[in-house]
Structure 1
């Protein structure tokens, strides 16, 4: 087994927050109200989603989020409550409460509390440290790079190995829970996932949801190779995996079958 050093989630969140604030600092009225790539949401609504998610952690609505049976519907409801807000108010909420979440993430990361598991809607349970850091980084990363920037013709913000490691960490944790909750009866052997680029590596994914850094010791059915840059896009079904730079070694049909069920939210 390969033991990977844990990335700095708080530093990653701080960096992603800076990118959001940098982009939003000079958005025009037309850009704020432009349709984003997130279905049904304007650019302003996406930022409202990020801000409401941060704000909710410090209010009773956190319970609603944690106990939700449909996290996407819950997110839509929170955004709808802010749809009439002016952009300045949306940005102020995001700036204030994302700063508090970042500080909280840093404080919790050094305590045993970070390992306490709590449930997040239908996504399953996660350590608090992972929820405060990695979940937020993933949300920022995907919305900024795939839903906002390309929709208004802005340049995709840069990233780094630490941020990508945190994004991948969260995505594989969600995928693990999804497989545990809905096992793939046909999946008798594990697949390997190699992500190349910043923050990349090897992982083995078993039918029972076990995700292990490194290659499986048992015979693998398929070896999937993709890039870290594209992983968040196709694995969240913002793009078809068939349209991205993915290769499948071993049993090609088995690998395709696995890729067809990946849908990380």
Structure 2
């Protein structure tokens, strides 16, 4: 059984827009340390110091209230507040700073019973399975492992990928009866994932490899989160490294 303390999940929340974390999400992630990132994305003409002076107290109060909800559920929670001109850059940087294994992009989740796990390749399968097993521990969530092959010739390779992921989950303590596997052939992986996600309550997507880390996180995962009604959990690779050219002056503080 994986130790929940081995993992950490970043949950960004636009606190000044009234965004909240559904109770179903709080309960599902209560056993895993989380970092709540209260943020506000600003127009270019608004300085972060100006925004903090104007909105900081209200934003911090909203963040503190949300943190209390997680604490009352028994969660090990850290909170940070940021005013930023680029929310995705801030999400990435905080994930690195706080050694977060995944980032949860929020959408409403009135019911949380089934999880769709979209796997693209065998890179980081073990890492994805370990974190997913931690999320599943103590819940009744059922899982569908999902792969989109670009051509019929890739169906068998996709089946082998999902079998490997299933074996990793079972080895981490997840009951095999809770795990389904589906391979489809489609020239548009994103559309196929979205169609399948419509039948589930939480979408899990893993990054593929370091060379496309920014592309995957900034493009594909963001498009999935915008086009699905489900929350999207982006499981990051094990290659987390901060880059020297990342902007860090985003008016942030932490607790």
Tell me the TM-score normalised to structure 1 length. Answer: 0.27
Q: Which has the higher contact order (CA 8 A, sep 6+)?
A: 2
- Structure with greater proportional helix content: 1
- Structure with greater proportional strand content: 2
Tell me the TM-score normalised to structure 2 length. Answer: 0.28
